[in-house]
Amino acid sequence: MSAAVRNPQPTTLDSIKRSLVALRMPRALEVLDQAMRRIEQGEIDAIGALDHILMEELSIRENRRIRTALLLARLTTIKTLAGFDFAFQPSLDRNRILALAELTFIERAEAVHLLGPPGTGKSHLATALAVEAVKAGKSVAFSTLADLVTSLAKAEKEGTLRERIRYLARPQLLVVDEIGYLPVVPGGGNLFFQLVNARYEKGSMILTSNRGFAEWGDIFGDPVVATALLDRLLHHAVVIQIEGSSYRLRQHADLVPEHVRSKALINPPPIAKRRGRPPGKANSDHNVG
């Protein structure tokens, strides 16, 4: 019997494994044996194996970081630029969106407005840009205007408005989705203004709206607040107007056979309801014809 079998010496491989455990690199540990086999088979050399092991560990950490940051940003529905069909929205300049995806607007603390009718992809694009920002390591927060105003109003009631605004002023990018779908509660415009003012020239924003700027007075229920908001939000701003049809409706239209679809578009609904007549008394109708 050889000495090695009686008293096995820890190998270099064992030592590497212990180090990986101590360094908390579980993925590297997992792929180590596989990398060793590939070395033995002459597929890669030692330096290649080292690179492979480290890249595996790094990519798993990076994915974990992104997943956590997406949750923190409240980006629950993930949309990507790759998943956006630019051909469907010809009024939209693809290059402008791709330029925004370079994220320099975040460094410049600019506001990006995405305007357009419902279903034209405003939230999709806002989310996709926010996801790009998260991937690039930027701090991001995503909210609808209604949720944002609710949280500010709650903080005000609890006497913590200052802290709340400071907290919301911190992320490098704040996405405010759905401006104009719901009227803002009384006082909400003022609260939102305080936040916008706190972020002005410090942090960037993406805002989506189905209404034009001229309607902000109605949305915020106060033309003075609306003017002050737009003053800040249009100063260093990129405005992207989408003039197209709804992607949501396109999807529905695809489910409807062509002959029904064209008929539905041309003709009004066949059964016109008569007002003030109780149901089930159709036989009393003598005016037909």
For tokens 């999709």, the residue is 124
- Scanning 41-49, 54-62, 80-88, 150-158 for contacts with ligand ADP by CB under 6 A, the matching segment is 80-88
Euclidean distance between CA atoms 174 and 189, whole angstroms = 17
Euclidean distance between CA atoms 104 and 252, whole angstroms = 37
Contact with ligand ADP (CB under 6 A) among 31, 120, 141, 190: 120
Instruction: Identify the burial level of 267 via C-beta atoms within 10 angstroms of its C-beta, where 0-12 means exposed, 13-18 middle and 19 or more buried.
Output: exposed
Query: Binding to ligand ADP by residue 119, rule CB under 6 A?
Result: yes
Nearer to ligand ADP, 68 or 80 (CB): 80
The mark string for 83-122 relative to Mg ion (x by CB under 5 A, - otherwise) is: ----------------------------------------
Euclidean distance between CA atoms 264 and 245, whole angstroms = 17
Instruction: Find the binding residues for ligand ADP in span 19-58 (CB under 6 A).
Output: none
Residues 6+ apart with CB under 8 A from 55: none
Count of positions on this chain that bind Mg ion (CB under 5 A): 1
Residue 90 C-beta: closest distance to ligand ADP, Å: 10
Nearer to ligand ADP, 124 or 164 (CB): 124
Q: Which partner, Mg ion, ligand ADP, none, binds residue 209 by CB below 5 to 8 Å per kind?
A: none
Contact with ligand ADP (CB under 6 A) among 33, 85, 93, 158: 85
Query: Binding to ligand ADP by residue 84, rule CB under 6 A?
Result: yes
Phi, psi of 112 (to 5 degrees): -115, 125
Euclidean distance between CA atoms 199 and 107, whole angstroms = 13
Which of the 8 DSSP states describes residue 269?
P
Helix (H) or strand (E) holding 166: helix 161-169
* CA atoms 18, 19, 23, 24: torsion sign: negative
Residues 6+ apart with CB under 8 A from 118: 210, 246, 248
Nearer to ligand ADP, 88 or 167 (CB): 88
- 242-251: burial string, b at 16+ Cβ within 10 Å, e else: bebeebeeee
- Scanning 13-21, 81-89, 138-146, 194-202 for contacts with ligand ADP by CB under 6 A, the matching segment is 81-89
Query: Binding to ligand ADP by residue 88, rule CB under 6 A?
Result: yes
Q: Closest Cα to residue 116, out of 183, 208, 250?
A: 208
Nearer to ligand ADP, 143 or 208 (CB): 208
Angle, vertex CA 192, rays to CA 191 and CA 197, nearest 5: 100
Contact with ligand ADP (CB under 6 A) among 123, 143, 144, 204: 123
Query: Binding to ligand ADP by residue 190, rule CB under 6 A?
Result: no
Query: Binding to ligand ADP by residue 144, rule CB under 6 A?
Result: no
Nearer to Mg ion, 231 or 243 (CB): 243
Contact with Mg ion (CB under 5 A) among 89, 120, 123, 190: 123
Instruction: Find the binding residues for ligand ADP in span 243-262 (CB under 6 A).
Output: 247-248
Q: Are 114 and 243 in contact (CB under 8 A)?
A: no
Residues that bind ligand ADP (CB under 6 A): 79, 84-85, 88-89, 116, 118-124, 208, 247-248
Residues that bind Mg ion (CB under 5 A): 123
